[in-house]
């Protein structure tokens, strides 16, 4: 769900905010924090590893 929300609500510039509104999905709070990008990269890598384990 996190990955889908990021894809749906990230602008073309790629800027991420610290939080996403749980109802609308809109980005809220502080923008361009390093840990927001780190969370996405970590989730992406974990998802890719899991997909490889199941053969996708």
Q: Enter the tokens of residue 4.
A: 């889908």
Residue 2: domain span: 1-54
Across the chain, which distance is largest between two alpha carbons, in Å?
A: 38
Angle formed by the axes of helices 2-9 and 34-53, nearest 10°:
130
- Domain count across the chain: 1
CA separation, residue 40 to residues 7, 35, 54 (Å): 10, 8, 21
Specify the pTM: 0.76
With a cut of 90, say whether residue 5 has pLDDT above it.
no
The stretch 2-23 carries a mean pLDDT of: 91
pLDDT of the residue at 17:
94
Condensed to tens digits (0 to 9), the pLDDT of residues 20-49 reads 998 998 999 999 999 999 999 999 999 999
């Amino acid at each position: 769900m996190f990955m889908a929300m990021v894809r749906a609500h990230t602008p073309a510039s790629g800027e991420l905010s610290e939080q996403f509104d749980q109802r609308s999905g809109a980005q809220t709070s502080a923008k361009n924090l390093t840990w927001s990008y780190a969370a996405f990269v970590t989730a992406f890598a974990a998802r890719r590893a899991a997909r490889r384990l199941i053969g996708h």
